[in-house]
Amino acid sequence: MDRRVVITGLGAISPFGTGKDIFWSGLINGKSGVRTISLFDPKGYATTIAAEVPGFDPSEFIDRKEARRMDRFQQLAVASALLAVDDSGLKITDDIADATGVIVASGIGGLGTMEESMKVLLEKGPRKVGPFVVPMMITDLAAGHISMLLGARGLNYCTTSACASSNHAIGDAFEAIKRGIADIMITGGAEASITPLGIAAFNSLRALSTRNDEPEKASRPFDIERDGFVMGEGSGIIILEELNNALSRGANIYAEIVGYGMTADAFHITQPDPSGRGASRAMDMAIKEAGIQKEEVDYINAHGTSTGPGDIAETKAVKELFGNHAYNMLISSTKSMTGHLLGAAGAIEAIACSLVVKNGLVPPTINLETPDEECDLNYVPNKAVQKNIKIALSNSFGFGGHNASILIKRFEG
242 within domain boundaries: yes
Low-confidence ranges of the chain (pLDDT < 50): none
333 within domain boundaries: yes
Task: Give the DSSP letter of residue 388.
Answer: -
Which pLDDT score is estimated for 175? 97
Task: Give the DSSP letter of residue 365.
Answer: B
Task: Give helix 345-359 / helix 20-28 axis angle, nearest 10°.
Answer: 70
Q: Would the CA dihedral through 126, 128, 134, 136 be positive or negative?
A: negative
Between the CA of residue 252 and those of 6, 72, 257, what are the distances in Å?
Answer: 10, 30, 15
Q: What is the pLDDT of residues 261-277, one digit of tens each?
A: 999 999 999 999 999 99
Burial class (CB in 10 A: 0-12, 13-18, 19+), 205: exposed
Q: Would the CA dihedral through 373, 374, 376, 379 be positive or negative?
A: negative
Between the CA of residue 194 and those of 11, 48, 72, 136, what are the distances in Å?
Answer: 21, 10, 10, 16
Residues 223 and 267 occupy one common structural domain: no
Q: What's 391's domain CATH number?
A: 3.40.47.10
- What residue type is 188 in one-letter code? G
Per-residue b/e over 307-323, b at no fewer than 16 CB within 10 Å? beebbbbbbbbbbbbbe
Residues 26 and 67 occupy one common structural domain: yes
| CA distance linking residue 401 with residue 413, whole number of Å | 37
| CA distance linking residue 235 with residue 15, whole number of Å | 10
Task: Give the DSSP letter of residue 154.
Answer: S
With beta carbons less than 8 A apart as the criterion, state whether 72 and 112 touch: yes
Which pLDDT score is estimated for 1? 56
**Helix, strand or coil, per DSSP, at residue 371:** strand
Residues 265 and 244 occupy one common structural domain: no
Number of structural domains (the chain) is 2
Q: Which of 184, 219, 248 is the last residue of a domain?
A: 248
Which pLDDT score is estimated for 245? 97
Residues 97 and 197 occupy one common structural domain: yes
Burial class (CB in 10 A: 0-12, 13-18, 19+), 224: middle
Query: What residues pair up with 330 in beta bridges, in sequence order?
Result: 299
255 within domain boundaries: no
Query: What residues pair up with 365 in beta bridges, in sequence order?
Result: 381
Residues 202 and 265 occupy one common structural domain: no
337 within domain boundaries: yes
Residues 132 and 213 occupy one common structural domain: yes
254 within domain boundaries: no
Which one, of 197, 24, 186, lies nearest residue 105 by Cα? 186
Residues 47 and 190 occupy one common structural domain: yes
Residues labelled as active-site residues: 163, 303, 340
What is the pairing mode between strands 184-191 and 100-105? parallel
Task: Give the DSSP letter of residue 326.
Answer: G
Which pLDDT score is estimated for 2? 81
253 within domain boundaries: no
Which one, of 10, 71, 43, 86, lies nearest residue 347 by Cα? 10
- CA 99: distance to chain centroid? 25
Q: Which of 225, 248, 271 is the last residue of a domain?
A: 248
Which pLDDT score is estimated for 273? 96
Q: Which positions ≥6 away from 255 have C-beta within 8 Å?
A: 6, 7, 353, 354, 357, 358, 408, 409, 410, 411
Task: Give the DSSP letter of residue 295.
Answer: G
Residues 232 and 265 occupy one common structural domain: no
146 within domain boundaries: yes
158 within domain boundaries: yes
Q: Print the domain residue range for 345.
A: 260-409
Residues 96 and 212 occupy one common structural domain: yes
Q: What is the pLDDT of residues 287-336, one digit of tens each?
A: 999 999 999 999 999 999 999 999 999 999 999 999 999 999 999 999 99
Q: What is the pLDDT of residues 160-185, one digit of tens each?
A: 999 999 999 999 999 999 999 999 99
Residues 192 and 45 occupy one common structural domain: yes
Residues 270 and 231 occupy one common structural domain: no
Q: Which of 195, 224, 248 is the last residue of a domain?
A: 248
With beta carbons less than 8 A apart as the criterion, state whether 46 and 208 touch: yes
Q: Which positions ≥6 away from 211 have C-beta within 8 Å?
A: 49, 217, 218, 227
Query: What residues pair up with 384 in beta bridges, in sequence order?
Result: none
Which pLDDT score is estimated for 413? 78
Residues 213 and 316 occupy one common structural domain: no
